[in-house]
A and B are shown apart, each in its own frame.
Chain A
Amino acid sequence: MMESCVTHAPSWSSQQMRGVSANQMPEMKSSQEVVIVIIINMSKRKVKDDHMPVGECITQVQSILRERFCHQKLPEKPQAVEAQHKHLLELLKRTAIHGESNSVLIVGPRGTGKTMLLKCVLRELLGDKEVQKNMLEVHLNGLLQTDDKIALKEITRQLHLENTVGDKVFGSFAENLSFLLEALKKGNRSSSRPVLFVLDEFDLFALHKNQTLLYNLFDVSQSAQAPIAVVGVTCRLDVLELLEKRVKSRFSHRQIHLVSSLTFTQYLERVRTQFSLPGSFPDAKFAQEWNASVKTLCEDKSVEEVLQRHFNSSKDFRSMHMLLMLCLSRVSVAKPTVNPSDLLEASRLCLSDAKADMLHGLSILELCLIIAMKHLNDVYEGEPFNLQMVHNEFKKFLQRKSNSMYNFEQPVVMKAFEHLQQLELIRPVDASSAKTQREYQLMRLMLDHSQIMEALQKYPQCPTDVKQWAMSAFG
């Protein structure tokens, strides 16, 4: 069971990195949920005695921390965004209670907690009984609702308007639109229920034809109709420039910017809190030990160095969660604590260069061709090359050596060249490849010198003469 968790986890988190929140992909979650249910069942049996066996403690730790890292579990209170939180909460409250129509955009780079902020605000807002009874919610995602037609059906479905039967929406696109607009027009500020529209990936809605949906939503929010609040979530800073003039004029120009102004000490602190167990952990002694070990981990010099490197490269929380997740997956019954070496290993995995790893898997001939291409690039300053030139360069190398070990036939070289193309280590200059013969097609190398040299150093049993050839400045 443990093993299955470990192997599945990275794929989920990568799904979420792409901005698809977990509740829109129920089938992705189900297997993890089954695992959690089993874990909970197991823990209930033994909850009477205070000290649980190490195995169960570890399962608990895994389930708690996994939920935190992979499922983006909402924290108790959003950190470092109090002002934005208050602004958004007040705004939505006014829509819910006073019936004031509003529109707002939440803008910030990926992984700065836009959706987290919004969800926290909604949780707090819906905690109010009065609001919960009155407010209607419509959630749209630019990746799912790829055109206005689908978006309209989704709105009608989520609002349970009268032209829906069950989950099916009747009528054509035009009828749906006029039906929805008519419905919103009939409403008024004081008597109809306010509707909250959440548009995730807002910038994709701006690519729809004529921006009809946005125009109509903003228009309703600026006219005396049913009260609505439009909340857009996007990572593009230039999102307002995507809007048409008349759409832009109707938008209220409220933007909530989220930027992570984290310092390194705050980052370290956050790593510690993210990795620590909560006070409600069933086995208090284990939790204490775990938290102490996490504390010593964060004070370790080498760990600090690694974290500094990650902090320098990006401040977003998803990459931090990724790192911690890789670290966590090395915890097992045999080794119930995290060591600095785990974190170092996880960081190595995170930072490893995919292209250089690919080079390790090549044959000697393919590697030789890559080196020949590198030399061609050096000599002709990045001009494109074809197979003939590469082969000639390779032949020059062979001539200088008495050893005829690498004397391959032309078709074999061609095969190797094609293999490189399939791996996209080289790329045709122009896409119209049908006209020219394969030997004469112009190509470019997609590797940096540093990648080639690094791969050569690490290549298992690389022949010395090949290495020397690569090092030499001129072919």
Chain B
Amino acid sequence: TPRHATPSIPSRTLAARQPTNVLEEARTRLHVSSVPESLPCREQEFQDIYSFVESKIIDGTGGCMYISGVPGTGKTATVHEVMRCLQHVADVDEIPPFNFVEINGMKMTDPHQAYVQILQKLTGQKATADHAAVLLEKRFSSPAPRQETTVLLVDELDLLWTRKQNVMYNLFDWPTRRHARLVVLTIANTMDLPERIMINRVASRLGLTRMSFQPYGFKQLQQIITSRLNKVKAFEEDALQLVSRKVAALSGDARRCLDICRRATEICEHSAPDPSATGLVGMSHVMEALDEMFSSPYITAIKCASVQEQLFLRAVIAEFRRLGLEEATFQQVFVQHQALCRVEGLGPVGVSEGRAACQRLGACRLLLLEPSRLGLLQRVRLNVSQDDVLYALKAD
């Protein structure tokens, strides 16, 4: 019956194939999902969170911590590692045992579902959101002998925002109760989130224990890749340096770095003359992967557009120059379009043909358009810079 179903994906008939050569091995290791045993370059942050949680568990008190940083800087991974280590220490009885509960704002449909998920992970009970809130309130406010400390990790905190902010208020208010023994670790992207979206009484309960994860520098990214590869020799030194320098300059996102390396191994594999004798991943392969992932598709799209579409783009620019504005109606552009057609020696272009070209450019977002029922009065803007358009049209 669906009520007591155990969620699972059917298992496969044939086991997955294991990697056979160096590049495949490297690719498996470089996949974002294969989180290493210990995270390089986050020792300081690890230590801070570790001592914060450890002290709370030993003292049997509660508290909050706010962790921020741009995506892909290892926030969640670090917290998970801390919890793994603490669990290990608790298993050998050096600190009192504790519960670990994790919720993620993006993985629930509504902020109030947080109560349901916390309750279910703590006690296994299923309840509606309101009922779960009451039960949790009772659990955290009434004294109970031999209650274990609970560590609650709230990922993507900004998604728990509601108009009255009661979910966030409760999450930060429970740790302040005397008997709660609750440690709340919250993770979000922006550093100033508490000041921006929280009302005073919520922000004050969150407290000032904050930590921000800086984006990785190029040396750190390089170290991360090397530690992942763990002596599998698949990359040239320079190639690694190029990837890490490029990514560090753009975002410092470790996921991006790993994805590019993985793509580079594929390119290397394809470019090799026979599959058995693939060399190391070199500069050229990495360059190609970087181009693929960072280059903008607009220029090739303009180059490959049909003649009328290219003419329309030129007409748009001509009209913008004439008006001195960055916006024109279709009718104004169309006059230029007709003139350009005459100059180019093409046959006269009809209104519906011109509009079709305009709509096609709008559909792939080279142009930004108003709704098409406005007909001739529809206003047109460029979604790319004029220089890009001119460059793309001139190049051939």
On whether A86 and B270 interact (CB within 8 A), knowing A257-B300, A314-B357, the answer reads yes
- Closest CB of chain B to A257's CB: distance in Å? 5
5 contacts between A and B (CB under 8 A): A133-B13, A164-B2, A189-B16, A190-B15, A315-B306
B-chain residues with CB within 8 Å of residue A183 when the two chains form the complex:
7-9
Q: Are A222 and B363 in contact (CB under 8 A)?
A: no
Residue B189 is within 8 A (CB to CB) of chain A in the complex? yes
- Closest CB of chain B to A222's CB: distance in Å? 4
- Closest CB of chain B to A69's CB: distance in Å? 19
A215 CA to B109 CA in the complex, in Å?
12
Q: Which residue of B lies closest to A209 (CB)?
A: B109
8 Å CB contacts to A: which residues of B6-36? 6-17, 19, 24, 27-28, 31-35
- Closest CB of chain A to B90's CB: distance in Å? 23
Q: Mark A132-145, 1 if CB is under 8 A from B, else 0.
A: 01101000000000
Most chain B beta-carbon contacts within 10 A, residue among A109, A257, A444: A109
8 Å CB contacts to B: which residues of A231-288? 235-238, 245-246, 248-250, 252-255, 257, 259-261
- Closest CB of chain B to A249's CB: distance in Å? 3
- Closest CB of chain A to B182's CB: distance in Å? 22
Partner of A446, one of B17, B71, B376: B376
On whether A312 and B346 interact (CB within 8 A), knowing A162-B2, A162-B8, the answer reads yes
Segment with Cβ contacts to A, from B193-201, B252-260, B314-322: B252-260
Residue A173 is within 8 A (CB to CB) of chain B in the complex? yes
A-chain residues with CB within 8 Å of residue B7 when the two chains form the complex:
161-163, 179-180, 182-183, 186
Segment with Cβ contacts to A, from B54-62, B110-118, B137-145, B202-210: B110-118
On whether A450 and B255 interact (CB within 8 A), knowing A159-B9, A237-B297, the answer reads no
Partner of A101, one of B33, B106, B306, B366: B33
Q: Are A186 and B377 in contact (CB under 8 A)?
A: no
A-chain residues with CB within 8 Å of residue B356 when the two chains form the complex:
313-314
Residue A405 is within 8 A (CB to CB) of chain B in the complex? no
8 Å CB contacts to B: which residues of A438-475? 444, 446-448, 450-451
Partner of A252, one of B24, B259, B298: B259
Q: Are A134 and B14 in contact (CB under 8 A)?
A: yes
Residue B70 is within 8 A (CB to CB) of chain A in the complex? yes
8 Å CB contacts to B: which residues of A164-215? 164-165, 170-171, 173-174, 177-184, 186-187, 189-195, 210, 212, 215
Residue B156 is within 8 A (CB to CB) of chain A in the complex? yes
Q: Which residue of A lies closest to B352 (CB)?
A: A353
Q: Which residue of B lies closest to A319 (CB)?
A: B356
Partner of A134, one of B13, B300, B349: B13
Residue A97 is within 8 A (CB to CB) of chain B in the complex? yes
On whether A448 and B11 interact (CB within 8 A), knowing A163-B2, A236-B365, A311-B306, the answer reads no
Q: Are B298 and A177 in contact (CB under 8 A)?
A: no
- Closest CB of chain A to B136's CB: distance in Å? 17
B-chain residues with CB within 8 Å of residue A421 when the two chains form the complex:
none
Residue B277 is within 8 A (CB to CB) of chain A in the complex? no
Q: Are B107 and A187 in contact (CB under 8 A)?
A: no
Partner of A245, one of B12, B189, B303: B189
On whether A312 and B360 interact (CB within 8 A), knowing A163-B5, A186-B9, A246-B189, the answer reads no
B-chain residues with CB within 8 Å of residue A248 when the two chains form the complex:
71
Residue B263 is within 8 A (CB to CB) of chain A in the complex? yes
Q: How many B residues have CB within 8 A of the partner chain?
A: 82
8 Å CB contacts to A: which residues of B340-363? 346-347, 349-353, 356-357, 360, 363
Tell me the dominant secondary structure on chain A's binding face: mixed
A335 CA to B162 CA in the complex, in Å?
71
8 Å CB contacts to A: which residues of B46-79? 70-72
Q: Are A314 and B16 in contact (CB under 8 A)?
A: no
Q: Are A309 and B347 in contact (CB under 8 A)?
A: yes
Q: Are A353 and B377 in contact (CB under 8 A)?
A: no
Q: Are B107 and A177 in contact (CB under 8 A)?
A: yes
A242 CA to B296 CA in the complex, in Å?
15
Q: Which residue of A lies closest to B254 (CB)?
A: A249
Q: Are A237 and B304 in contact (CB under 8 A)?
A: no
Residue B395 is within 8 A (CB to CB) of chain A in the complex? no
- Closest CB of chain A to B81's CB: distance in Å? 14
Residue B173 is within 8 A (CB to CB) of chain A in the complex? no
Partner of B16, one of A161, A164, A190: A190
A446 CA to B309 CA in the complex, in Å?
22
Q: Mark A20-59, 1 if CB is under 8 A from B, else 0.
A: 0000000000000000000000000000000000000000
Q: Are A254 and B263 in contact (CB under 8 A)?
A: yes
On whether A259 and B377 interact (CB within 8 A), knowing A98-B17, A353-B350, the answer reads no
8 Å CB contacts to A: which residues of B131-185? 156, 159
Q: Are A193 and B9 in contact (CB under 8 A)?
A: yes
Partner of B106, one of A159, A195, A210, A353: A210
Interface pairs A-B: 3 shortest CB-CB: A249-B71, A162-B5, A183-B7
Q: Are B71 and A237 in contact (CB under 8 A)?
A: no
Residue B308 is within 8 A (CB to CB) of chain A in the complex? yes
- Closest CB of chain A to B143's CB: distance in Å? 31
- Closest CB of chain B to A232's CB: distance in Å? 14
Residue B325 is within 8 A (CB to CB) of chain A in the complex? no
Residue B227 is within 8 A (CB to CB) of chain A in the complex? no
Residue A157 is within 8 A (CB to CB) of chain B in the complex? no
Residue B216 is within 8 A (CB to CB) of chain A in the complex? no
A449 CA to B338 CA in the complex, in Å?
12
Q: Which residue of B lies closest to A95 (CB)?
A: B16
Q: Are B108 and A237 in contact (CB under 8 A)?
A: no
A109 CA to B298 CA in the complex, in Å?
11
A170 CA to B13 CA in the complex, in Å?
28
Residue B307 is within 8 A (CB to CB) of chain A in the complex? yes
A184 CA to B35 CA in the complex, in Å?
18
Additional A-B contacts beyond A97-B16, A351-B350 (4; CB < 8 A): A236-B364, A259-B301, A313-B307, A446-B376
A-chain residues with CB within 8 Å of residue B350 when the two chains form the complex:
351, 353, 450
On whether A222 and B33 interact (CB within 8 A), knowing A171-B2, A237-B365, the answer reads yes
On whether A314 and B8 interact (CB within 8 A), knowing A90-B266, A177-B109, A253-B256, the answer reads no
Q: Are B9 and A195 in contact (CB under 8 A)?
A: yes
Residue B383 is within 8 A (CB to CB) of chain A in the complex? yes
B-chain residues with CB within 8 Å of residue A224 when the two chains form the complex:
33-35
- Closest CB of chain A to B263's CB: distance in Å? 7
- Closest CB of chain B to A152's CB: distance in Å? 9
Q: Are B360 and A109 in contact (CB under 8 A)?
A: yes
B-chain residues with CB within 8 Å of residue A355 when the two chains form the complex:
351-352
- Closest CB of chain A to B190's CB: distance in Å? 10
B-chain residues with CB within 8 Å of residue A71 when the two chains form the complex:
none
Q: Which residue of B lies closest to A225 (CB)?
A: B33
Residue A226 is within 8 A (CB to CB) of chain B in the complex? yes
Q: Are A253 and B293 in contact (CB under 8 A)?
A: yes
Q: Are B8 and A187 in contact (CB under 8 A)?
A: yes
Q: Are A134 and B19 in contact (CB under 8 A)?
A: no
Most chain B beta-carbon contacts within 10 A, residue among A134, A170, A236: A134
Q: Are B6 and A162 in contact (CB under 8 A)?
A: yes
Residue B218 is within 8 A (CB to CB) of chain A in the complex? no
Partner of A313, one of B117, B266, B357: B357
On whether A314 and B255 interact (CB within 8 A), knowing A90-B266, A136-B10, A237-B298, the answer reads no
B-chain residues with CB within 8 Å of residue A314 when the two chains form the complex:
306, 308-309, 356-357, 360
A-chain residues with CB within 8 Å of residue B16 when the two chains form the complex:
97-99, 189-191, 227
A356 CA to B350 CA in the complex, in Å?
10
A203 CA to B71 CA in the complex, in Å?
22
Q: Are B377 and A444 in contact (CB under 8 A)?
A: yes
Q: Are B27 and A254 in contact (CB under 8 A)?
A: no
- Closest CB of chain B to A56's CB: distance in Å? 38
